[in-house]
Amino acid sequence: MRRLLPGVGGEGTADLDDTGLVEAYRLPPGRSLRVDFVTALDGSVTVGGRSGGLGSPGDRRVFRTLRALADVVLVGHGTAAAEGYRPVDADPSVAGLRTVLDRPASAPVAVVSRRASLAPDGRLAVPSTLLVTCAAADPDRRAALAAAGVGVLVCGDDDVDLPAALDALAERGLEQVLCEGGPALLSAALAAGVVDELDLTLAPALVGSPDRLLAGALADVVRPRLVQLLEEDGVLFTRYAVDR
Ligand SMILES: NC(=O)c1ccc[n+]([C@@H]2O[C@H](COP(=O)([O-])OP(=O)(O)OC[C@H]3O[C@@H](n4cnc5c(N)ncnc54)[C@H](OP(=O)(O)O)[C@@H]3O)[C@@H](O)[C@H]2O)c1
């Protein structure tokens, strides 16, 4: 993987090993919400209903690096279900990189679900998982998940209040949040003005999927600023800063 921007003399074409990639994505201490997505050139985020068809070895390395650097992985229930989410340390390469970085081998997965849809007998119904829901969610579902050990965060009355949810995560020491989507959650996070960074992988593919980066039109155009661009095998790895 090579760095195209920012280019510093001869460094511009240097191969980034795992350590270089960690440094390329490391954040300063403090609270942040960074969003990671892979899209085709036409904005499609799925092939046949899942993101895997857009993946590449470089994208998987970036995905692992971002997970290794995160305090918590935030994901919408639609994505957790479609992609068969498991706890972070189920992937030994992420756990291994986190250990190398002197971090706990795992990070919690926080599933956002207005309806508390997480299955109480599913793979994510473990004590490391957090459910981010609201008071309107079925109390029996919430109780069943709590009984399975899931940490239930009630943030908001009729819908999930994302700023309140991020405050609740920060109160637990989970300050650096990696949001892995999907489109509904990204749209809500942009509308709530809580996104600091968008890390978009652009796969050289045209798909024409109905699943796009955003679930619908935003009330205001958001104009992220490109701060970093890496490339491998024709795949572009962007880091955009989003001004709140
Ligand atoms: N290419 C990529 O990088 C990428 C990344 C992520 C996802 N995807 C794809 O995107 C698709 C899923 O899309 P999606 O829009 O359904 O995903 P999503 O945002 O993950 O899930 C939507 C569901 O999550 C909950 N949710 C999301 N935002 C919420 C909010 N602000 N407040 C309360 N609940 C919220 C709701 O669950 P309840 O209905 O339970 O209340 C909602 O129905 C999948 O096919 C996945 O493969 C692709």
Write the CATH number for 159.
Answer: 3.40.430.10
pLDDT: is 227 or 14 the higher one? 227
Into how many domains does the chain fold?
Answer: 1
Task: Tell whether 143 is covered by a domain.
Answer: yes
Q: How far is the CA of 242 from the centre of ligand 1 (A)?
A: 21
Amino acid in the structure at residue 118: L
Residue nearest to atom 21 of ligand 1 (CA): 78
In-domain check, residue 84: yes
22 within domain boundaries? no
What integer pLDDT is reported at residue 244 of this predicted model?
Answer: 83
- Region 188-210: what's the mean pLDDT? 98
Mean pLDDT of 107-117: 98
Instruction: Output Rg (C-alpha) for the chain, integer angstroms.
Output: 18
Dmax (CA) for the chain in angstroms is: 60
Does residue 21 form part of some domain? no
pLDDT by residue (tens digit) across 68-94?
999 999 999 999 999 999 999 999 999
Ligand 1: nearest atom to the Cα of 54: 1
Q: How confident is the model at residue 10 (pLDDT cuts 50, 70, 90)?
A: low
In this prediction the pTM is 0.97
Q: Quick check: is 72 in a domain?
A: yes
Q: What is the DSSP string of 110-170?
A: EEE-TT----TTSTT-STT-EEEE-TTS-HHHHHHHHHTTPEEEE--SSS--HHHHHHHHH
Question: Is the C-beta atom of 37 inside 6 A of ligand 1?
Answer: yes
CA angle 213, 36, 28 (to 5 degrees): 140
Copy the structure tokens of residue 145: 């998940």
Position 63 in a domain: yes
Give the C-alpha separation, 135 to 13, whole Å.
52
The answer to the question of residue 17 being in a domain is no
Asked whether residue 225 is domain-assigned, the answer is: yes
Check pocket membership of 196 for ligand 1, CB cut-off 6 A: no
Q: What range defines the domain where residue 202 resides?
A: 31-241
Tell me which residue of 157, 165, 179 sits closest to 74, measured CA to CA: 179
